Amino acid sequence: MELTGFSTTLDDVGAAVASGPTPRLTRVFLRPTLKPMEVAFTPDQKAFIRKGIEIGRFHSEEDAVQEALLLWEERERRRLEILAAVDQSDASLASGRGRRGTPREEAQQLAADVKDRGLARLATDKIPGR
């Protein structure tokens, strides 16, 4: 299969994440490819694509590949956002603005906070005679 059109590099995605708090991949980050790309599929992949075309999910092989690339791009964007959030959390901890906790401690604290708020609400919502 021959693919032509636009490509986004992972460097472009990384630059988008580094540039601001809400990275977005837009056509600004897309650039035309210089030549068509040949892609080889396994027999199972070819059958999967053909089945998608047969049932009307896709109109062509190119549509199927484009969808796959869009999903990969979205997954990569989310992965880079998570990595950026981890870096931000590490920086926050290093500067003393946060505290490290284990998931168990956090869950116990959250449960205690919810319980306290619930008891306080019950105490203020009590209606005489109930």
The confidence score (pLDDT) of residue 123 equals: 85
Is residue 44 in some structural domain? Answer: yes
State yes or no: pLDDT of 8 exceeds 60. no
Q: Confirm if 64 and 54 have CB atoms less than 8 A apart.
A: no
Is residue 113 in some structural domain? Answer: no
Residue 30 domain boundaries: 2-100
Is residue 10 in some structural domain? Answer: yes
Backbone angles phi, psi at 24, to 5 degrees: -140, 135
H-type helices in the chain, by residue range?
10-19, 43-54, 61-94, 103-125
- Looking at the structure of the chain, the number of domains it has is 1
Is residue 72 in some structural domain? Answer: yes
Q: Residue 16 — very low, low, confident or very high, per pLDDT cuts 50/70/90?
A: very low
Is residue 30 in some structural domain? Answer: yes
Is residue 96 in some structural domain? Answer: yes
Please enumerate in sequence order all residues whose Cβ is within 8 A of that of 17, keeping only pairs 6 or more positions apart, or say none. Answer: 23, 77, 80, 81, 83, 84
- Side-chain half-sphere exposure of 111, counting CA atoms within 13 A: 6
Is residue 88 in some structural domain? Answer: yes
Q: How far apart are the C-alpha atoms of 15 and 9, rounded to whole Å?
A: 10
Is residue 120 in some structural domain? Answer: no
The confidence score (pLDDT) of residue 93 equals: 86
Tens digit of pLDDT for each residue in 28-52? 556 666 678 888 999 999 999 999 9
The confidence score (pLDDT) of residue 4 equals: 45
- Report strand pairing: 6-7 vs 31-32: antiparallel
Instruction: Give the mean pLDDT of 56-65.
Output: 94
